[in-house]
Amino acid sequence: ASDVYKRQVCMRVGASAGLSLETVQSPEFVGSVVRPRALHLADSGAGVHAVNSMEYVVPGSLRPNTTSIATANGVATPPYRCDAVLNVLDKTGTAFDLSLPDAILMPESQHNLVSLGLLAQDGGVETHIKSGDGSSCLVFPDGRVVDLINAGVLIIPDASSPMYAMTPEACLLYTSDAA
């Protein structure tokens, strides 16, 4: 099958699973990457927030970045940072905007990264991680609760994607532009 056909199949499969997908060129892979546009990982070890698309950037907030960050691919200094907003679901199914001030813009990233430490420090947000059948969640100062999907990584439900589809297995589909 041609690479164009494989990419189309990936897009159809993702769409039928309810994922909002995009195809991006990636220097890390030969060809293109098909990924969910709205996978938000909650990370207790992250020192910065990071978003992977301009759609999350607050208009007028894009600015140069000078902070180097350590990633799985080594140390990098992304060119931009911004104030960002993620549209997430609370426990009642109500969508609301989660503000991520001073986030790094990393369009090559497979997901958005939410620093749980910064949420606690700057926003007073508590993180509860439960074992077994317990419900992991974020608790906001106003009492709003966001249930987290604990799949070995903590996933914050996006308002535009169904929760059941946001599993690690659904995170990334690769296609190749190579002949």
pLDDT in tens, 141-175: 999 999 998 888 899 988 876 543 333 333 343 33
Using DSSP's 3-state secondary structure scheme, residue 121 falls into helix
Closest Cα partner for 166 from 34, 60, 31, 40?
A: 40
For residue 160, the model assigns a pLDDT of 79
For residue 13, the model assigns a pLDDT of 47
What is the value of pTM for the model shown?
A: 0.71
For residue 110, the model assigns a pLDDT of 84
Residue 179, Cα to own-chain centre: how many angstroms?
Answer: 31
Please, are residues 112 and 57 in contact by the beta-carbon 8 Å criterion?
A: no
Beta-carbon contacts of residue 34 (< 8 Å; ≥ 6 apart): 7, 10, 11, 14, 21, 22, 23, 172, 173, 174, 175
pLDDT above 70: percentage of residues in the chain: 68
For residue 52, the model assigns a pLDDT of 93
Positive or negative torsion for Cα 162, 149, 112, 49:
positive
Q: How many residues are listed for the chain in this entry?
A: 179
For residue 81, the model assigns a pLDDT of 97
pLDDT in tens, 13-64: 445 444 555 555 444 444 444 445 578 999 999 999 999 999 999 999 999 9
For residue 71, the model assigns a pLDDT of 80
